[in-house]
Amino acid sequence: MKLFNNLNFNKLKEGLSKTRNKLVNNITETFTGKAVIDENTLNELEEILISSDLSVELSGKIITNLKTHLKGEKDRTLTNILDLLKNELMQILKTDEDSTETKNNKENVSPYVILIVGVNGVGKTTTIGKLAHNFNQAGNKVIVGAADTFRVAANEQLDIWAKRAGVEIIQQNKGTDPSSVAFDAVRKAVDGKYDVVIIDTAGRLHSKVNLMNELIKIKRAIEKVLPGAPHDTYLVLDANVGQNALIQADEFAKVIQTTGLILTKLDGTAKGGTIFQICEKHNVPVKFIGVGEKINDLQTFEPKLFVDALFNNNENQ
């Protein structure tokens, strides 16, 4: 399996504009013109972080760390404060970056199986299409398994995206056992020597116990064909829903171990700060982010690039 890096800094900056306006611009306005960065100013900064979806607990932790850094620091200019804040945010996002050894192990696995989970409406189908496109562009032979058999429209949408991505799709009739679709897709991938298998699942509500348990059945079916699979389980979250995305991550963590997050619709929201909360609480890395509707708008996530784009660091253009 060949890995890929789909990075576009200018597109990322553009996609984060609403979150930047809510977070960074407010910070700049608060600090500009103040001769002394004192306790009151840092308290104002904490309020801005909280209002930007970083939660009370996480914001308090960040401010405490900033105060520690500033104790012996003579330079209390806005530029220095922002650099310290950027470093704090980057450390939160660096939850579990793939080591060289891990990347090598992934490249040596074929077929590599990815299970995609998430609730209704988060952009799961389009994300799978974009992910398949990226893998295909990297030179992989890709197949998609349409294991959301509860809705006919789900298969139709996924079929359209598979064609756009130029990859094959395995699908069955509405009402078919989802685990059997997953089984067939992985079996075909093994027999046909495919590089990557991406398995869709029903956009299940995290409050529905039976539907959540279906994930366990799907996982077991995949393991029967290919021991050790799925190799990655990605939870897709909609950045627009803010705190509710954190609740979804909590509930899915009770049922299945996710190895990565995909955050969609970042270009349409000012609630991108939620990403810091989720990473801090679950220690699950963000793998990809959606910053547009086009097929190449699912970007590989890199913490430093994300924070630089959020703070509009022109040096990285």
Tens digit of pLDDT for each residue in 7-34? Answer: 999 999 999 999 999 899 888 888 887 7
Please give the Cα distance from 246 to 249 (Å, whole number): 5
What pLDDT is recorded for position 211?
66
What pLDDT is recorded for position 208?
65
Highest mean pLDDT out of 123-132, 152-161, 268-277 = 123-132
What pLDDT is recorded for position 97?
59
Is residue 96 scored above 70 in pLDDT? no
What pLDDT is recorded for position 147?
92
What pLDDT is recorded for position 149?
81
Q: What is the pLDDT averaged over residues 138-161?
A: 89
Short-list 28, 23, 150, CA closest to 81:
28
Asked, as a colleague might, if the bond just before 111 is cis with ω within 30 of 0, I would say: yes
What pLDDT is recorded for position 31?
82
Percentage of residues in the chain with pLDDT exceeding 70? 92
Q: Cα–Cα distances in Å, from 84 out to 13, 62, 181?
A: 20, 10, 49
Q: What is the pLDDT averaged over residues 264-293?
A: 89
What pLDDT is recorded for position 317?
40
Highest mean pLDDT out of 154-168, 209-223, 265-279 = 154-168
What pLDDT is recorded for position 48?
93
Please give the Cα distance from 80 to 73 (Å, whole number): 10
pLDDT digits (tens, 9 = 90+) for 178-226: 999 999 999 999 999 999 999 999 876 655 667 667 888 999 999 999 9
241 or 135, greater pLDDT: 135
Q: What is the pLDDT averaged over residues 76-98?
A: 84
Please give the Cα distance from 247 to 276 (Å, whole number): 14
What pLDDT is recorded for position 104?
66
Is residue 232 scored above 80 in pLDDT? yes
261: left (phi over 0), alpha (psi -120 to 50) or beta: beta
Please give the Cα distance from 35 to 98 (Å, whole number): 42
Is residue 316 scored above 70 in pLDDT? no
By DSSP bridging, strand 232-238 and strand 286-290 are: unpaired
Highest mean pLDDT out of 74-88, 240-254, 281-295 = 281-295
SS (H, E, C) the chain: CCCCCCCCHHHHHHHCHHHHHHCHHHHHHHHCCCCCCCHHHHHHHHHHHHHHHHCHHHHHHHHHHHHHHHCCCCCCCHHHHHHHHHHHHHHHHCCCCCCHHHHHHHHCCCCEEEEEECCCCCCHHHHHHHHHHHHHHCCCCEEEEECCCCCHHHHHHHHHHHHHHCCEEECCCCCCCHHHHHHHHHHHHHHCCCCEEEEECCCCCCCCHHHHHHHHHHHHHHHHHCCCCCCEEEEEEEHHHCHHHHHHHHHHHHHCCCCEEEEECHHHCCCCCHHHHHHHHHCCCEEEEECCCCCCCEEECCHHHHHHHHCCCHHHC
Mean predicted lDDT score pLDDT of the chain: 88
Q: What is the pLDDT averaged over residues 36-56?
A: 88
Please give the Cα distance from 203 to 129 (Å, whole number): 15
Short-list 81, 80, 77, CA closest to 49:
81
Short-list 263, 111, 102, 287, CA closest to 182:
111
What pLDDT is recorded for position 315?
45
